[in-house]
Amino acid sequence: MTFGGKVALITGASRGIGRAIATEFASKGADVVLIGRDRTALEETANACSDAQANANTHVIVADVTEEAAVEAAVTQAVERFGHVDFAIANAGQSIDALLVRMKLSVLDQMLSANLKSAFFLCAAVAKPMLRQRSGSIVLLSSVVALTGNPGQAAYVASKAGIIGLAKTLAKELGSRNIRVNAVAPGLIETAMTEHIPDAAREHLLKQTALGRPGKPEDVSGVVSFLCSDAAGYMTGQTLVIDGGVWM
């Protein structure tokens, strides 16, 4: 798979899975637009892209993807810079654990904004140039718990389940213009977001994992690049589970 001449836009590109996705696309020759809130971390991702592919063409945009106007401006800037956007990956997200009976409304609002609304805003913004060019691939980051449920994560799970419904609906809305929309549902992936999981909870999760180990960000990035490639040209509206064998 090579992506020479293609432009990939990734939200949440500062670290973890987002950084792995960015370097994956850069290594395959794509121009990469990196969106996040931490400029220093985004610059580190840009350097990682250069390490993956000499002279990688990267563009850093500092933006809060929970704000619709900021996402629209970022996509407009990307199109002005490169002329088109071929791939859009909605990776930005957060996780806050809370039992339903103790949950504050602010937690629900934050989970919906960070995980679902941010993806909705990105899809709406990139759909416009993709419709004009009559091509494109969008990949949304969900989670395996959107399929299984998980006690103590009602708001997070609901927001990630919404991602799957969004992908299916947009696949049907945009498919006639050769725009594909898919989702991926990672399991336990070693990132900054999961490093504070209590040891007992981590052990419980690993016991449910057929491969007996947590995933790496690169385990996700390879699947995302596959979904954007011609090899997946007849796939849309799908959710690929990357969990080491938890949900079967």
Choose, from 14, 156, 187, 221, the residue flagged as catalytic. 156
CB 228 within 8 A of CB 1: no
Rounded CA-CA distance 45/60 in Å is 9
Radius of gyration in angstroms for the set of CA atoms belonging to the chain, rounded to a whole number: 17
Using the Cα atoms of residue 139, residue 12, residue 56 and residue 195 in order, give the sign of their dihedral. Answer: negative
Rounded CA-CA distance 58/62 in Å is 13
Q: Measure the CA angle with vertex 177, ends 175 and 182; round to 5°.
A: 35
Instruction: Please give the DSSP secondary-structure letter assigned to residue 175.
Output: G
**Catalytic status, residue 156:** yes
Rounded CA-CA distance 61/22 in Å is 13
Rounded CA-CA distance 246/141 in Å is 17
Rounded CA-CA distance 88/137 in Å is 7
SS3 content of the chain, % helix, strand, coil (to 5): 50, 15, 35
Catalytic residues: 156
